[in-house]
Structure 1
Amino acid sequence: MRIGILGDSHEQVKDIDRCIKKLNNVNIIIHTGDMLKDALYITRKHNIPVIGVRGNCDPYNAGEEEILYTANNYNILICHGHNYGVKSSLKMILHRGKNANAHIIVFGHTHIPYYEQVDSIHLLNPGSLAFPRGFSKKSVAIIEINERISIKHIEV
């Protein structure tokens, strides 16, 4: 299974359209919030299924704060990250992932691409599609799940 990961898109549809070309042949896209309505845009315009969570810039009724999604028997915890203080530490989000039996934790909020494996849990932030921070560039990520998990960032 091939999963596209993006977030912090902030209604920048030109960047979304450009990134979809880089996420070719994905089965599904995960959106980490901050403008979750962009997920609807992707589904309508590009006919790709999207699951996503609301971020701190989304209205309260925009969607779920957190989703546990299973792909090929691997649990993926999806959240924006603001409720776990990801700008200062990943301890809380890692603890939440362990409690959820997650193999992968996907989050956003920092606008900085990040990947690390900690205690057999993959922590992934795709970065921001619209407004990157910390010397990073606009980016997305791809997770490939077969017999093992493979993750890579892609500059858009």
Structure 2
Amino acid sequence: MRLGIISDSHGVESVIKEGIFQMGKIDLVFFAGDGIKDAENVSKELGIEMIAVSGNCDYSSVEPTEKILETGNKRILLTHGHRYDVKHRLDKLYYRAKEIEADIVIFGHTHEPQNFVERGILFFNPGSITIPRGRNPRTFGIINIEQDGRVWSEIFNLDKCMVNTR
């Protein structure tokens, strides 16, 4: 299962489309908030399945701020992250992941990419696809869940790469 990961588009639908184009063949897109209307519009326009959560800037959205999903035999926590104070630390998010027995945590909010494993849990923030912080470029991510359960994850620079379709 090949998952495209996008966050923090903040009103710019065109960059979501560009990111999806650069991802190559994907099975599903996860959107980690702040631009949920962008995600909904692009999903309809391109006819692709997109699972999205609301962020702190998605004021009129009725979507929840977190979703727990099972895909590729992995439990995924999708959240924007603002309710877990991810700009300052990740301990609240880690304990939530442990509580629900998540294998993968996808979050946004910081506009800075993160991709690491902590005690068996993949923490993945694709960064912002429009407004990066911390001298980072505009980024998106891909998580691939192999049939044998192995997971690889990578963050890509929107402006510099064309992703292969491993």
TM above 0.5, yes or no, is yes
| Equivalence map 1:85-100=2 (5 Å) | 85-100=85-100
SS state at 1:62 partner: coil
1:59-96 Cα deviation digits (max 9, x unpaired): 25430111001111100100000000100101000110
Q: Secondary structure at 2:25's aligned position in 1? A: coil
2:63 corresponds to 1:63:
yes
The separation in 1 between residues aligned to 2:28 and 2:110, in whole angstroms, is 23
How far residue 150 of structure 1 moved from its aligned partner, in angstroms, is 0.7
> Hey, which bits of structure 1, 4+ residues long, moved more than 3 A?
none
8 Å Cα contact 1:77-1:106 kept in structure 2:
yes
Letter in 2 for 1:52: A
Residue of structure 2 in register with 1:119 after alignment: 119
- Give the Cα–Cα distance (whole angstroms) in 2 for the partners of residues 62 and 35 of structure 1: 13
Among all aligned residue pairs of Structure 1 and Structure 2, give the percentage whose two residues are the same amino acid: 35
More displaced, 59-68 or 101-110?
59-68
Paired residue type of 2:17: D
1:51 matched to 2:51? The reply is: yes
Instruction: Name the structure 2 match of 1:74.
Output: 74
Q: What is residue 150 of structure 1 aligned with on the other side?
A: 152
**Contact kept? 2:36, 2:61, Cα under 8 Å:** no
Alignment check: 8 A CA contact 2:128 2:138 kept: yes
Q: Which segment is superposed worse, 6-15 or 126-135?
A: 6-15
Give the partner amino acid of 2:56.
N
1:33-48 alignment to 2 at 5 Å?
33-48=33-48
Aligned-residue CA RMSD (Å) = 1.0
**For residue 106 of structure 1, what is the aligned residue in structure 2?**
106
Could you tell me how far apart the structure 2 residues matched to 1:41 and 1:66 are? 20
Measured in 2, the distance between the counterparts of 1:23 and 1:70 equals 22
Report if aligned partners of 2:13, 2:39 keep a CA contact under 8 Å in 1. no
CA distance in 1, matches of 2:45, 2:52: 17
Q: How many residues align?
A: 156
> Which AA in structure 2 matches 1:154?
F
TM-score normalised by the chain length of structure 2: 0.91
- When structure 1 is superposed on structure 2, of 44-53 and 84-93 the one drifting more is 44-53
What is the identity, as a one-letter code, of the residue corresponding to 1:19?
G
